[in-house]
Structure 1
Amino acid sequence: MATGNDSQVIELAQIDASMLGLVGGKAAGLGELIKAGFRVPQGFCLTTRAHVTGEIPEGEVLDAYARIGGGRVAVRSSATAEDLPDASFAGQQESFLDVSGASELLNAIRRCWDSLHSDRAVAYREANGVGPDVHMAVVVQRMVDAKAGGVLFTANPLTGTRTDMVVDAVSGSGEAVVDGSAIADHYVLDGTPPRADGCLDRDQLELLREAGAAVQESFGCPQDIEWAIARDGGLWLLQSRAITTLFPLPPETDDLRVYFEMGHMQGMLRPFTPAGMSALTRGAKLWMDSAGLSGGAFGDAMGIVPVGDRLFMDFSDLLRNKRIRSRLPRMMEVYGPRNVEIVRRLLKDPRFAPTTGGLPFPVAPLLKKGLRVLPKAKFEFIRIIAFPAAARERAFRTTEKLKRRAVAPESASTAERLRFAEQVQRDFMTASEVIWPLFIGIVVSQFPNALLKGIATDAELDTVLGGLPHNVTTEMDLALWRLAADLDEPERELLRFTPPAELATRYQAGELPDIGLDDFLSRYGHRAASEVDIGVPRWSEDPTQILSTIAGYLRITDPEQAPDRRFAQAAERAEAMIDELHERARRKRPIRARLARFCMRRARRLTGLRELGKFAWLYSLSSMRAQLLRVGEDLSGQGRLEQAGDVMFLDLDEIRAAVRGTDQRALAVERKSRHTREMRRRAVPIAVLSDGTDLEATGAPEAVADGAMTGLGASPGKVTGRARVVRDPADARLEPGEILVASTTDPGWTPLFMTAAGLVTETGSPMAHGPTVAREYGIPAVICVRNATAEIETGQVITVDATSGTVTPE
């Protein structure tokens, strides 16, 4: 058998992972198994060199076939984009078993080659971002005379638990497990004695467990292993590849911890860049320090723990605290019903039994801070309630001050720019003139719930908060609508029929007519979708999403569907509802009725400010981004980064090390690759244990009646329309009357709300930005609908009923 550099056939025992481009993923994995000493059926690989030429070297193949004894063999595809760390390609290309004889062997090889271009394989590559430059190698191995066979996962692929192994097995060849043609015996190896029925006994299961542990240790990550137990009792490994669907593990800890996903509260389910997570953590530390809360149950940074580059928070100490744990279900209601159900289960879990009884925060500094803040709180409450207009004026004036202070000096060294970026959030964290009125507005908006209990429904009270004035996010959306409405006919034609990305390029080159976009971006250009991550370009850098949204606005022809009209109608309904609720309550409780009306009217004058806090904070985040990009330019010029943008794939400490001389090119490239992989992940667990367990996956399945999907009503109303599933708002267009279905939303998505008839999200909270804006536009919204973007298809007619919290396909 040829073994030189020009060989087209190589023995499996001569292959290792460095030969991936020559032998493909499956053969590389088999070679590594053999190298590590595992039993693998004898065989050879027809390399990608043959596939490139398109000719099977029949002589070499048949000589190799004779050397392994001829007879029955398995012929399996081994593409160069197969069995990779982030994409398994399981079942996308063909395998053929019990192939016998020269003619059948050559035909099977040709069919493996052909399967590279099957519809399913092409679609899978496109979905996983794999380019067209893919080639096929083919593995040929002796068949095992199997008594039993199947698949072993060294971590539980359904729950994510790394301490469990899962075995699916059938009598005879395990191919029936792989292709799903037989009902397999299912075993979970979780440390307890496994059941002894089915096609495997306990000794065989222990043999598989030991082999799985050894293979996982050898490869360094959880593995998906195909295996066969021969009739003589010997275990053979037929394939091993990484389990690519597992959500990444939290950081290693000494005890069992639980983490809840909190990025959805900021409309952020995509992975953070390392710089973005680092900036958020730094801001959290600054706030905790200013509030006197550092060092308690949430540590020094609000309990933030990056998991899979997403924003999670550690709730372990609260669950184990005797004073707090019973209150947790109520506290978690703001995060959605799915979180509440998980907390209730954890309260019964002996692993989270109470172990502490003190307060979850350091008492002395908190008490000292409270004694200082309490008189201030009383003063602010009285003056803001008495003079809301003056409070708003102070808040907006302070916001403009924060905007000016977020501008860095033009002449600064690299180290000075980094230092400015590290400190620029500090001013916002102590901007009380912004924080007090929005906080008091939110508090006052909750008073009518108690005052009108038994008189007003939740939906009616939500209606009171529709069409709120003084909201910077809705003002932004309406400003964009006015921009679109003022366009002349040639401008409308240009924006309606030119791809948004092309328009953005022309705008940045100064080749687009003056449509008012400069003015809009001067006010709102520091925003973007997923804007809490400084690694994400701002609209001022890339206005593609804004131009796409304008094109959507231009397709509105019904005057009643015009966003400004819809907003005004929501405000009219709110004022009418206040009068109606006052009259209804006055008959039974006249004093409460007057007080409730006062609170509702004050809420309408103040609650719109709830968006101002984030709006003001974003000035510092946008400035951080700008300064770090300048730092990146300097570092790339000095050869410490490949390109300026790579600075976003380092955290602040790593950027500081680069400024001091460390070459961070390799680290940034590795982080960028990881970020790209995580960007393709569609599902993010809402709560995980430190052993990787997805807590929602271990719960009882939801009962769904009549095909309805259940969630949480977050904006009142009921609407039926065609769904538009949107995963990235950058180039999305909603036709008027369509229902927006998304994983999550943040203020950067809200321009799409102007044409949406309803909103469905997989995560969220009634208090989060997206549902709040939906209420102000009078758009029915149901949030926390599990798997909505997978279960609902674009164009499908659905009914969104916020009263029942359901989404029903028609």
Structure 2
Amino acid sequence: MFVLTLDQIGEDDALRVGAKALRLAQLARAGLPVPPGFCVTTAAYRAFLTANGLDAGTTDPDTLAEAEMPPEVVEAVREAYRAIPAAVRSSATAEDLPEASFAGQYDTFLNVVGLENLLTAIRACWVGLWNERARAYATRHGLNPDRVEMAVIVQQQVPAEAAGVIFTLNPLTGKEEEMMVEAVWGLGEPLVAGRAEPDRYVVNPYDRAVLRRELADPPMMLITANEGGVQEAPVPADRRGYPVLDEAQLLELAELGYRVQAFYGYPQDVEWALADGRFFVLQARPLTAFQFDPELGQWTSANYREVLPGFASPLSLSISLEREYGRALATLFRDLKMGEAPPGTIWGRPFFGRGYWNVGLVKRFAAVIPGFKERTFDATVGIEPTYEGDGLTTPWTPRTILRALPVLFALNKRYTTCWQEAAAFAEHFRHEEEPAIAAVDPAALSDAELTDWVHRMFDLHGQANHVSITVTLLATQAQDDFELTLSHLNQRLPPEEEPIAYGDLITGLGDVRTAKPTLELWALARQACEEPEVAAAVVKGEPEGIPRRLQATPAGRAFWAEVEAFIRRYRYMSTVDEDLAVPRWDEDPSFVLVTLQAYARAIGRDGITPPQNPAQQLSTQREAAQAAETRALAALSRGWRRLWPFARRSFRQQLERVRRYVWWREEMRVVASMAFYHCRRFFLELGRRWATAGLLREPDEIFLLRWEQIEAALEGRSGPEEIRQAIERYLRLRTAYRNFEPPGVIGRGARIATPEPTGGRRLEGIPCSSGRASGPVRVVRSLEEARALREGEILVAPYTNPGWTPLFNLAAGLVIEAGGLLSHGAVVAREYGIPTVVGVEGATRLLRTGQVVTVDGTAGAVKVIG
């Protein structure tokens, strides 16, 4: 078809109408105020080229402008046109992509009157596709301009009294709760074209507040002319010196901007117009360029992307990130004589509903230690450097050594005591505290008793997390120390020798508790495959039906009892165990059933046990670690080094230290997860009672409140209205940013542009677990997508945590967006010898399920080969 009205455009019509027209059609269907109109499709554009024997890629634009429009296209436009003033805009098939907005690259014609003028404007839009500016822009963004086609939008002209742009995320500060409005009198074209200075307003739509105003007071404006087209006119005297929009209008416009962003789930750049007291949406495109306040410092979601990924619950963020993480950091730095943070220092906070920590401040404290390299630090936590060289460094000099001596002595002492404290805490919790808590039924408590237990769980959460975070911080420092030693050793190896990989040394740890569920679930799957009736019940049909199918036979019932015992044993696990809002395995065993079925299918395929057998892998990795250590010690025994036994002893001590702390990091992760499990039980019971009392709509809404909001309600300092307002504000923010992928670093070093693979064939990240593996990609963002994972595929995921690790056993290789060398996924991947690259920014977007890739876990590269 040559013409489609906006209400005829469907979701599959992007290549027929272009992104701009498709988005306007989507917004119109969603009930937003979009001026009525139609789209001249790319079919009409192709017919125009064919009828005139033209090749748009090589034909001179002047020749295109003189070519005749086919009669059938003219007739289609005539039938759709209603002889009213129209705005005519281009809608190219590459326009308004998230990576490139193409804003200002193509043509717009306003107040077009009459069919002949309309046809001329349409032809001009087609010709505009081939202007050098637009072609160069497409090329810069990796698009082939010869493959782009042009549709044209024709809409009723809005006789704007005022117009402008609303950025639903403040592009100058990156503050998610701020919108920036730009407004001029009359039509908005001079503003869009950069020829007019607008009023600027900053509005908070979540708290309904106008924060700032900057008035421009221009003398001229653009208006529609009676005979068609536009003309400049003086701004009426009664408008001079006044804001273009008053407070009520700004709040109304901000709400309109919110509705547009809420529809798409990520920030928008919206052109609007005001006529007869109504606001209209003229265009909407993804906001692709913004910056952060330079005073913000540097924040990162590294590490937190795996423990609290995506939109974490406000309760978990307020406890784990904002309270406990900061306390652990401040305490450790004080214990290590590294200094005191100023009062009120913020160590962790959410941006866009995601958890971030103050990495800039942490680096300043860490740089007290000689040998500190920012690049090494960034690699450890999973930050992609944006600077040249090693960044911030602290050299080994007499002055830095003298200044750091108290720190180094305190650090060595803390290395000795911290893991012992962790062991004591874990022993006490497992054998005394956890059984006592497990014996308490929250539903049987009185309201007063439940309130007391909620506070006790809050304290327990803090105690467990404090130990876990402290162990993690020392593990990071131990790794940095060891990597420096290993780097010096590798630099002195003969050129013909391969460098000794960090991952080969920090593997084969043995008895890593986060790896145990994989071993046990694999054993259950093998057991199932030994009994035909049990195997059939597990392998055939949907995973949710496994319990029902197993109940049909005695052998099945006996096997299901063992699966239930497994679920009880690991009841505290979930896909996101640090988020109290996420159900645990004993509440929702779907993940266990999906993985059990996948294991059984892999084992039973052709009657052959695949190489991913976890027990064999653990044994192999222990041997690999021993071989790597032997090789390193041999290198330290060559030549003049054999006269310096201290080097070998120091190497062994550092290696043992980092291995111990990596092991204890995983151990404390499990202890913390068990504590979080019980916290969830008591908070959920509080949610049930508040829902019964009408304070909440659902029990799970308790997790949408911050701890201080819950505490205020428990103490009678707030009531139902405050609770409802807090929940609704959070839900609005989550809706607005649900599809937004904020940068891993915010502030200094932030990468705002969407990453693109080099030549579309290679991605790079942090080498994590050595080896190479090739196979088809399986992008997994959720449990539903995990169902499709097959043995031998390359698992590509946004993050991993202990709850995900059973999936690793099916994968030939791992590509993870988040994380560093110490991430939980990295540790378990090394234990199983699975080639892994972490810190691959944008991997789940840049790689597609079905592509064939090679994962090089030694070099930290992912190459697309098919």
Do they superpose with TM above 0.5?
A: yes
- Taking the aligned partners of 2:661 and 2:359, their CA distance within structure 1 comes to 32
Alignment match, 1:116: none
Letter in 2 for 1:484: A
Task: State which drifts further: 479-488 or 787-796.
Answer: 479-488
- Taking the aligned partners of 1:542 and 1:808, their CA distance within structure 2 comes to 37
Alignment match, 1:452: 489
Deviations 1:672-704 (A, max 9, x none): 734762684252211234xxx9930269x7782
Alignment match, 2:705: 650
Task: State which drifts further: 519-528 or 589-598.
Answer: 589-598
- Taking the aligned partners of 1:611 and 1:738, their CA distance within structure 2 comes to 26
Which one of 777, 784, 803 corresponds to residue 723 of structure 1? 777
Could you tell me whether the CA contact under 8 Å between 1:151 and 1:224 is conserved in 2? Answer: no
- Trace 1:291-370 onto structure 2 (pairs within 5 A): 291=332, 293=334, 296-297=340-341, 303-315=347-359, 328-338=374-384, 340-341=385-386
Letter in 2 for 1:284: Y
- Taking the aligned partners of 1:319 and 1:200, their CA distance within structure 2 comes to 57
- Taking the aligned partners of 1:333 and 1:203, their CA distance within structure 2 comes to 59
Secondary structure of residue in 1 paired with 2:357 = strand
Measured at CA, do residues 516 and 303 of structure 1 come closer, stay the same or move farther in structure 2, by a change above 3 Å? same
Could you tell me whether the CA contact under 8 Å between 2:324 and 2:466 is conserved in 1? Answer: no
Secondary structure of residue in 1 paired with 2:281 = strand
Alignment match, 1:514: 560
- Taking the aligned partners of 2:861 and 2:479, their CA distance within structure 1 comes to 27
Could you tell me whether the CA contact under 8 Å between 1:721 and 1:797 is conserved in 2? Answer: yes
Could you tell me whether the CA contact under 8 Å between 1:428 and 1:617 is conserved in 2? Answer: yes
Alignment match, 1:154: 167
Which one of 629, 634, 640 corresponds to residue 583 of structure 1? 634
Letter in 1 for 2:352: G
Could you tell me whether the CA contact under 8 Å between 1:227 and 1:236 is conserved in 2? Answer: no
CA offset at residue 159 of structure 1?
A: 8.6
Measured at CA, do residues 477 and 636 of structure 1 come closer, stay the same or move farther in structure 2, by a change above 3 Å? same
Measured at CA, do residues 438 and 228 of structure 1 come closer, stay the same or move farther in structure 2, by a change above 3 Å? closer
Which one of 437, 460, 474 corresponds to residue 424 of structure 1? 460
Could you tell me whether the CA contact under 8 Å between 1:249 and 1:308 is conserved in 2? Answer: no
- Taking the aligned partners of 2:619 and 2:740, their CA distance within structure 1 comes to 37
- Taking the aligned partners of 2:820 and 2:465, their CA distance within structure 1 comes to 23
- Taking the aligned partners of 2:168 and 2:469, their CA distance within structure 1 comes to 51
Alignment match, 2:261: none
Deviations 1:479-523 (A, max 9, x none): 221122122332222222332344479999998952522322333
Alignment match, 2:693: 638
Secondary structure of residue in 2 paired with 1:779 = coil
- Taking the aligned partners of 1:173 and 1:405, their CA distance within structure 2 comes to 68
Gaps of 5+ in 2: 1-26, 38-80, 89-101, 103-109, 119-152, 201-213, 217-228, 258-267, 393-399
Could you tell me whether the CA contact under 8 Å between 1:709 and 1:785 is conserved in 2? Answer: yes
Which one of 670, 692, 695 corresponds to residue 728 of structure 2? 670
Is 2:274 the counterpart of 1:219? no
Which one of 578, 585, 600 corresponds to residue 532 of structure 1? 578
CA offset at residue 304 of structure 1?
A: 0.8
- Trace 1:590-605 onto structure 2 (pairs within 5 A): 590=642, 591=645, 592-593=647-648, 596=651, 600=655
- Taking the aligned partners of 1:782 and 1:532, their CA distance within structure 2 comes to 24
Alignment match, 2:625: 574
Measured at CA, do residues 724 and 540 of structure 1 come closer, stay the same or move farther in structure 2, by a change above 3 Å? same
Measured at CA, do residues 633 and 391 of structure 1 come closer, stay the same or move farther in structure 2, by a change above 3 Å? closer
Could you tell me whether the CA contact under 8 Å between 1:438 and 1:610 is conserved in 2? Answer: no
Is 2:325 the counterpart of 1:287? no
Measured at CA, do residues 667 and 486 of structure 1 come closer, stay the same or move farther in structure 2, by a change above 3 Å? farther
- Taking the aligned partners of 1:554 and 1:282, their CA distance within structure 2 comes to 43
Identity over aligned pairs, percent? 23
Alignment match, 1:686: 744
Aligned length: 646
TM-score in terms of structure 1 length: 0.65
- Taking the aligned partners of 1:524 and 1:188, their CA distance within structure 2 comes to 63
Could you tell me whether the CA contact under 8 Å between 1:279 and 1:534 is conserved in 2? Answer: no
Alignment match, 2:810: 755
- Trace 1:702-781 onto structure 2 (pairs within 5 A): 704=758, 707-729=761-783, 732-733=786-787, 734-781=789-836
Could you tell me whether the CA contact under 8 Å between 2:374 and 2:390 is conserved in 1? Answer: no
- Taking the aligned partners of 1:546 and 1:683, their CA distance within structure 2 comes to 29
- Taking the aligned partners of 2:450 and 2:284, their CA distance within structure 1 comes to 41
- Taking the aligned partners of 2:415 and 2:765, their CA distance within structure 1 comes to 38
Gaps of 5+ in 1: 1-22, 31-40, 45-68, 77-89, 91-95, 105-138, 178-183, 194-198, 348-358, 385-389
Alignment match, 1:268: 308
Could you tell me whether the CA contact under 8 Å between 2:816 and 2:843 is conserved in 1? Answer: yes
Could you tell me whether the CA contact under 8 Å between 1:26 and 1:239 is conserved in 2? Answer: no
CA offset at residue 173 of structure 1?
A: 12
Letter in 2 for 1:718: R
- Taking the aligned partners of 1:322 and 1:485, their CA distance within structure 2 comes to 48
Secondary structure of residue in 1 paired with 2:560 = coil
CA offset at residue 403 of structure 1?
A: 3.0
Could you tell me whether the CA contact under 8 Å between 2:584 and 2:677 is conserved in 1? Answer: yes
Secondary structure of residue in 1 paired with 2:312 = coil
Measured at CA, do residues 727 and 204 of structure 1 come closer, stay the same or move farther in structure 2, by a change above 3 Å? farther
Alignment match, 2:534: 491
Could you tell me whether the CA contact under 8 Å between 1:266 and 1:746 is conserved in 2? Answer: yes
Letter in 2 for 1:635: W
- Taking the aligned partners of 1:504 and 1:760, their CA distance within structure 2 comes to 33
- Trace 1:169-184 onto structure 2 (pairs within 5 A): none
Letter in 1 for 2:456: F
Measured at CA, do residues 217 and 620 of structure 1 come closer, stay the same or move farther in structure 2, by a change above 3 Å? same
Alignment match, 2:434: 403
- Taking the aligned partners of 2:631 and 2:405, their CA distance within structure 1 comes to 43
Secondary structure of residue in 1 paired with 2:778 = strand
CA offset at residue 580 of structure 1?
A: 3.1
- Taking the aligned partners of 1:718 and 1:312, their CA distance within structure 2 comes to 32
Letter in 1 for 2:701: D
Alignment match, 2:677: 622
- Taking the aligned partners of 2:594 and 2:342, their CA distance within structure 1 comes to 41
- Taking the aligned partners of 1:521 and 1:638, their CA distance within structure 2 comes to 33
Could you tell me whether the CA contact under 8 Å between 2:33 and 2:280 is conserved in 1? Answer: no
Is 2:198 the counterpart of 1:143? no
Task: State which drifts further: 525-534 or 650-659.
Answer: 650-659
- Taking the aligned partners of 1:424 and 1:293, their CA distance within structure 2 comes to 23
Could you tell me whether the CA contact under 8 Å between 2:426 and 2:671 is conserved in 1? Answer: no
CA offset at residue 449 of structure 1?
A: 1.8
Is 2:284 the counterpart of 1:239? no
Could you tell me whether the CA contact under 8 Å between 2:303 and 2:820 is conserved in 1? Answer: no
- Report the aligned-residue RMSD: 5.7
- Taking the aligned partners of 2:341 and 2:469, their CA distance within structure 1 comes to 28
Which one of 790, 793, 796 corresponds to residue 851 of structure 2? 796
Measured at CA, do residues 521 and 322 of structure 1 come closer, stay the same or move farther in structure 2, by a change above 3 Å? closer
CA offset at residue 226 of structure 1?
A: 3.5
CA offset at residue 583 of structure 1?
A: 3.1
Measured at CA, do residues 572 and 409 of structure 1 come closer, stay the same or move farther in structure 2, by a change above 3 Å? same
Measured at CA, do residues 380 and 657 of structure 1 come closer, stay the same or move farther in structure 2, by a change above 3 Å? closer
CA offset at residue 155 of structure 1?
A: 6.0
- Taking the aligned partners of 1:756 and 1:186, their CA distance within structure 2 comes to 52
Measured at CA, do residues 781 and 601 of structure 1 come closer, stay the same or move farther in structure 2, by a change above 3 Å? same
CA offset at residue 760 of structure 1?
A: 0.8
- Taking the aligned partners of 1:619 and 1:777, their CA distance within structure 2 comes to 24
Measured at CA, do residues 302 and 151 of structure 1 come closer, stay the same or move farther in structure 2, by a change above 3 Å? closer
CA offset at residue 469 of structure 1?
A: 0.3
CA offset at residue 306 of structure 1?
A: 1.1
- Taking the aligned partners of 2:346 and 2:548, their CA distance within structure 1 comes to 40
Could you tell me whether the CA contact under 8 Å between 1:262 and 1:312 is conserved in 2? Answer: yes
Measured at CA, do residues 189 and 452 of structure 1 come closer, stay the same or move farther in structure 2, by a change above 3 Å? farther
Deviations 1:418-440 (A, max 9, x none): 22222122443676999599859
Secondary structure of residue in 1 paired with 2:514 = helix
Measured at CA, do residues 444 and 767 of structure 1 come closer, stay the same or move farther in structure 2, by a change above 3 Å? same
